[in-house]
Chains A and B, each alone.
Chain A
Amino acid sequence: DSGVTQTPKHLITATGQRVTLRCSPRSGDLSVYWYQQSLDQGLQFLIQYYNGEERAKGNILERFSAQQFPDLHSELNLSSLELGDSALYFCASSARTGTGDEKLFFGSGTQLSVL
């Protein structure tokens, strides 16, 4: 168990709809990262929040947005959904471990199917 919690595990919706994915980082981790895994693009970094502030942006569409709340959980909002948005969405958090490594730990993902 990575300690990163994601809900829901599966989401089925229709084109044009809006969904919200939720993530809680590991206890004590201030950063939350969102990644998308699709068959054609592989694993891609979308966006990072650190202690409530946006820290870095990757290949995130304008239809997608995220936020991190004071309790450090994060939500990824996907709107005007298209068939091509079907993918596995991961949340991750990172911190320096006891051995000094700075590892990225992933949640179990949300499988989004847009029909």
Chain B
Amino acid sequence: GIQVEQSPPDLILQEGANSTLRCNFSDSVNNLQWFHQNPWGQLINLFYIPSGTKQNGRLSATTVATERYSLLYISSSQTTDSGVYFCAVGDHGSSNTGKLIFGQGTTLQVKP
């Protein structure tokens, strides 16, 4: 099956700094989503981005499907951005939008 690798595994930032999180996947996909798991365990969907670029406030994401990677950018980080960021992909041959393979996540800590 598809392998999903995220880097870095851990990241510590000072409030106000910018960061880039990377997600590499081993095969072509038709579904890629980014999630944030906050310190209370809630999983929040940030982006559905199988290709191209999207922006939502201080967050943006870019997926280069032909090169099998996606990037999540966090600008002007805040302490509320702390948590774990997951990249998840769906098999290219599957039209099932909710059956996703998750990476191991990047744990982000933003210090005040």
* A interface residues (Cβ-Cβ under 8 A, vs B): 2, 31, 33, 42-45, 48, 55-56, 58, 88, 90, 92-94, 97, 101-106, 108-109, 111
Contact = CB atoms under 8 A, between A and B. Distances in A.
Nearest to A55: B96
Interface of B: 31, 33, 35, 41-45, 48, 86, 88, 96-105
16 contacts: A42-B102, A42-B103, A42-B105, A43-B88, A43-B102, A45-B99, A45-B100, A48-B98, A92-B98, A104-B45, A104-B97, A105-B45, A106-B35, A106-B43, A108-B41, A108-B42
Instruction: For the complex of A and B, list the 3 residue pairs with the smallest distance between their C-beta atoms, beginning with the closest.
Output: A101-B48, A106-B43, A43-B102
B105 to A, nearest CB: 7
Nearest to A94: B98
Contacts of B44: 2, 106
Given A42-B105, A88-B41, A108-B41, A56 B99 contact: yes
